């Protein structure tokens, strides 16, 4: 898609940061901070679209679907980052949420800007992932123009997958190939065109909200605790013990023993406590209750 980039909000000059190179260090920081305050309210205006995306993803997940983020540069890195954090935080398999970045793994640590210019590469990336109708593909492009992302979403739609597009350019909304469009308008960047700044921050807020809300809806959270976390290091092991103590009221020592019997699985340990059962029985009760700890506890005799 060809469009005059000079007309895009993400490429316009910000009058509030003119002559920023003449300011003191503190003044530069203050200008950037003031502009950053625009981000959260802009994301809040898109809450209905974000909620709609969450509901679509939850529905597809329950049918065996997966979620793919597709982006280039900062947008691609943010997608890969959010996807990589889902397994340890929510105990899901790594293939459930995946990030696709133009230029592949090398682009995560070194800029490969030209990789975003080829729509056919985006199409091929969807083919390689064997995207199906039950999957969801979220395209991320601050300017809304990135050919790699457009190619990926175009191919995903033909395969029947649900599609979402996240962009900070309001001028592109009517031209985007997606079922749901999330458009936080954060205005021109402090440094003209540097969408790693406000646009990047807005994108991270949106992605964090989407996956967190999805996992809450899937029962991966009890109260505000990550009861399905994968305790792969000392910090998470300690958090697991604390979660068990908070929910059960057990001492730390007893919680640690219970977790050992539950093979380190927080949710199973808590079910074992409240339903007076063993690990196998706890797993069975969770399966019977949509893997919801709240349902198991509230339905206890």
pLDDT in tens, 68-86: 999 999 999 999 999 999 9
To the question of domain 5-217 being in CATH 3.30.365.10, the answer is: no
Using CB atoms within 10 Å of the CB of residue 128, give its burial: 0 to 12 exposed, 13 to 18 middle, 19+ buried. exposed
Residue 1: pLDDT over 60: no
Q: What is the pTM of this model?
A: 0.92
Residue 26: pLDDT over 80: yes
- Buried b / exposed e along 211-248 (16+ C-beta atoms within 10 A): bbbbbbbbbbbbeebbbbbbbeeeebeebbbebbbebb
Q: Which residues contact 265 (CB under 8 A, 6 or more apart)?
A: 259, 279
- Tell me the C-alpha distance between 146 and 135, whole Å: 22
Which DSSP state fits 12?
S
- Tell me the C-alpha distance between 209 and 51, whole Å: 9
For residue 64, what pLDDT is reported?
96
Residue 2: pLDDT over 80: no
Which pLDDT tens digit goes with each residue over 105-133? 888 877 766 778 889 999 999 999 999 99
Q: What are phi and psi of 182, to 5 degrees?
A: -110, 115
Higher pLDDT, 62 or 5: 62
For residue 114, what pLDDT is reported?
75
Q: Which residues contact 60 (CB under 8 A, 6 or more apart)?
A: 66, 67, 134, 135, 136, 162
Which pLDDT tens digit goes with each residue over 156-215? 999 999 999 999 999 999 989 899 999 999 999 999 999 999 999 999 999 999 999 999
Q: Which residues contact 153 (CB under 8 A, 6 or more apart)?
A: 70, 122, 137, 139, 163, 165, 176, 177, 178
| Strands 97-101 vs 136-140: parallel, antiparallel or unpaired | unpaired
Mean pLDDT value across residues 266-290: 95
What are the distances in angstroms from CA 61 to CA 54, 58, 85, 298? 10, 5, 17, 25
To the question of domain 234-298 being in CATH 1.10.8.1080, the answer is: yes
Residues belonging to the active site: 85, 116
- Tell me the C-alpha distance between 70 and 127, whole Å: 13
For residue 111, what pLDDT is reported?
73
Closest CA to 103 of 131, 74, 81: 74
Would you list the domain boundaries of the chain?
A: 5-217, 234-298
Give the DSSP H or E segment for 165: strand 162-166
Mean pLDDT value across residues 280-295: 94
**Which strands make up the sheet holding 162-166, listed edge to edge?**
97-101, 67-71, 136-140, 162-166, 180-182
- Tell me the C-alpha distance between 169 and 294, whole Å: 41
What are the distances in angstroms from CA 16 to CA 35, 192, 231? 9, 11, 46
For residue 200, what pLDDT is reported?
97
H helices present in 37-171, as ranges: 39-44, 47-61, 73-90, 119-128, 147-158
Checking phi first, is residue 281 left (phi over 0); if not, alpha (psi -120 to 50) or beta?
A: alpha
For residue 17, what pLDDT is reported?
96
Residue 22: pLDDT over 80: yes
């Amino acid at each position: 898609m060809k469009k005059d980039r000079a007309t895009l909000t993400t490429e316009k000059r910000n009058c509030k940061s003119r002559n920023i190179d003449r300011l003191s260090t503190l003044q530069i920081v203050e200008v950037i901070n003031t502009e950053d305050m625009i981000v959260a309210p802009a994301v809040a205006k898109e809450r209905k679209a974000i909620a709609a995306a969450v509901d679509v993803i939850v529905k597809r997940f329950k049918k065996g679907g997966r979620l793919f983020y597709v982006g280039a540069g900062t947008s691609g890195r943010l997608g890969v980052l959010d996807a990589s954090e889902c397994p340890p935080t929510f105990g899901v398999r790594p293939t459930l949420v995946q990030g696709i970045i133009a230029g592949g793994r090398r682009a995560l640590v070194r800029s490969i800007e030209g990789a975003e210019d080829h729509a056919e590469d985006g199409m091929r990336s969807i083919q390689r992932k064997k995207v199906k109708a039950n999957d969801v593909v979220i395209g991320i492009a601050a300017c809304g123009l990135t050919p790699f992302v457009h190619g990926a979403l175009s191919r995903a739609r033909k395969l029947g997958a649900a599609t979402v597009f996240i962009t900070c350019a309001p001028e592109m909304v009517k031209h985007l190939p997606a079922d749901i469009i999330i458009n936080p308008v954060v205005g021109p960047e402090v440094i003209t065109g540097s969408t790693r700044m406000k646009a990047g921050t807005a994108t991270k807020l949106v992605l964090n909200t989407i996956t967190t809300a999805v996992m809450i809806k899937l029962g991966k959270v009890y109260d505000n605790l990550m009861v399905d976390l994968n305790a792969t290091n000392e910090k998470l092991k300690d958090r697991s013990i604390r979660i068990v103590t908070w929910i059960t009221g057990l001492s730390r020592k007893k919680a640690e023993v219970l977790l050992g019997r539950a093979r380190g699985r927080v949710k199973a340990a808590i079910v074992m406590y409240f339903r007076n059962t063993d690990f196998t029985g706890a797993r069975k009760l969770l399966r019977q209750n949509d893997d919801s700890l709240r349902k198991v506890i509230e339905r206890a005799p």
